[in-house]
Amino acid sequence: DADVTQTPRNRITKTGKRIMLECSQTKGHDRMYWYRQDPGLGLRLIYYSFDVKDINKGEISDGYSVSRQAQAKFSLSLESAIPNQTALYFCATSDNKDRGRETQYFGPGTRLLVL
């Protein structure tokens, strides 16, 4: 089984709807991240969490919120989806005790289309 899983893998929604993307990991890592990927722009950090009680905004957090329900679970919510939130979303984990620093392990991604 995959170490980092994301659900759903694909989602189509309408403008104004609230949706939640979920991420689970079995790696036992404390740190979890949400990114979005757009063509030509690379991965951009939305939110990150260094442990269950720690939540931090990334560079593009407007319009998003997160919840760290447990060490293994980190959810991303779009409170009121808009078309420019159409993107590929990735969850990642890391453990800074692994290989020196901040090697990240990514989930398979969620492809979101907002109509």
Partner 1 sequence: SQKIEQNSEALNIQEGKTATLTCNYTNYSPAYLQWYRQDPGRGPVFLLLIRENEKEKRKERLKVTFDTTLKQSLFHITASQPADSATYLCALEPHDYKLSFGAGTTVTVRA
Residues that bind partner 1 (CB under 8 A): 4, 31, 35, 40-45, 48, 50, 58, 90, 92, 96, 99-109
Taking the C-alpha atoms of residue 62 and residue 72, their distance in angstroms, rounded to an integer, is: 24
Nearer to partner 1, 79 or 98 (CB): 98
Question: In the numeric block, which tokens belong to residue 50?
Answer: 């260094």
Question: In the numeric block, which tokens belong to residue 22?
Answer: 């979920």
Query: Beta strands 4-7 and 54-57: pairing type?
Result: unpaired
Nearer to partner 1, 80 or 103 (CB): 103
Minimum distance between the CB of residue 115 and partner 1, rounded to whole angstroms?
A: 21
